Amino acid sequence: MILLQPALPTSGKELSLQIKSGETFTDCEFTSLDCSQQDLSGSVFSNTKFQDCHFNQCDLRQSLFNNCKFLNCTFSQLECEDVNFIESYFENAKFEHNQQTQFNFITCNFENTRFNNVNIEGGVFQQCDLSAAIFFESTIMAGVFNDCELRDAEFEKCEFNRTVFNDCSFSHNRIIQCQFALMFFSKANLSGIDFSSMQLSQSQLKDCNLKGCNFVKSQLQQSAFSGSSIQKCDFSEADMTLANLFECDLTGAQFKNTNLKQASLQKSKIIGCDLSKANFEMAQLKEAEIRLSILSRSKLIYADLSNSFISECDFSGADVYMAKMHESFEEKCIWSGANKSSAQGTNEQLKKAEQWGK
């Protein structure tokens, strides 16, 4: 007895009826299929090609697309929860006006794809190529981008909250009027990115390549840069209150008129930097290496420079009132107009205690 396979649906309604009857689709091709306002929840597609298809106001909850191709397709105003795209390819695709969606993209490639006014909550992009993708007026909440290629991607008027970028590569990106809150970047290559005037407070940038980034006038309060390379970055006029720059290499960085109040710069390398008019009030610079840098008219009130190495720096006009210089080494520096005598020198009792502890 030969079992006849149902004919391939030619409309979104027919497709919905076959899905509800338990049909799955493998090695199929759909062209100009309009699935608008159809219930496609629970669907399973494998090795399927969609061209010029429309998924507008349809229900894709708990659907699976494995090794599928989407050419010139639109996904608009969807009802989505736990939608999975695995090893799929998107070309000239558009995701528009989707609210409260949870997409999971695993090993997908996006060619000239746009995400316009999309709200993705808890979505995952795993090992995806998002080169030249465009995100416009979109919100990504608690999302994860892991091992993704994001070169030439554009982000404009987007909001990222509690989103993770792990081991991602950025280059030649345009980031315009975006908001980043409670972000986590790990092992991300962000070199040369323009973050100027952006909200990045309480963000974590761990073991990232930030060489040459522009953070001018950015909000970086309580942000952490542990283990990151931030040579030649420009932090001028940024607010870095309580920022964590522990053991960071700041070679060639600019901190002109930057607020670093209570920031942590212990064991950091501050070489060839311009820190003129920077505020280091109560900042921690213990065991820092500070060489060939300009700190003219900087504010170092109550800053802790204990056990630091300071060489060939310009402190002219600096305010070092009650700054701790315990066991710091200083040579060939300019102190004209600075109140160096008001700083605290080596604490002999503490020195004896440290020697005894050795």
- The domains of the chain, with CATH numbers, are 26-189 (2.160.20.80), 213-358 (2.160.20.80)
Judge contact between 209 and 230, C-beta under 8 A: no
Q: Which residue has the higher pLDDT, 181 or 278?
A: 278
Q: Which amino acid is at 70?
A: F
Mean pLDDT across 137-152: 94
- pLDDT at position 1 is 41
Q: Give the CA distances from residue 100 to residues 154, 240, 290, in Å, rounded to whole numbers and listed in that order.
A: 22, 33, 49
Q: What is the rounded CA–CA span in Å between residue 226 and residue 264?
A: 10
DSSP assignments along 12-45, one per residue = HHHHHHHHHTT--EES-EEES-B-TT-B-TT-EE
Residue 65 confidence class, pLDDT cut points 50, 70, 90: very high
Predicted TM-score (pTM) of the model is 0.85
**Residue 293 above 60 pLDDT?**
yes
Q: Which residues contact 47 (CB under 8 A, 6 or more apart)?
A: 26, 27, 28, 66, 67, 68
Residue 226 confidence class, pLDDT cut points 50, 70, 90: confident
Residue 2 confidence class, pLDDT cut points 50, 70, 90: very low
**Residue 81 above 90 pLDDT?**
no
**Residue 276 above 80 pLDDT?**
yes
Question: CA Rg, the chain, in Å?
Answer: 27
Instruction: Give the dihedral sign, CA 292/298/304/306.
Output: positive
- pLDDT at position 354 is 64
Closest CA to 164 of 123, 131, 130: 123
The mean predicted confidence, pLDDT, of the chain is 93
**Residue 198 above 70 pLDDT?**
yes
Percent of the chain beyond pLDDT 70?
A: 96
Residue 357 confidence class, pLDDT cut points 50, 70, 90: low
* DSSP label at residue 355: H
SS3 assignment, position 96: strand
Judge contact between 34 and 13, C-beta under 8 A: no
**Residue 351 above 70 pLDDT?**
no
- pLDDT at position 102 is 80
Q: What is the rounded CA–CA span in Å between residue 90 and residue 75?
A: 11
C-beta atoms surrounding 182 within 10 Å = 15
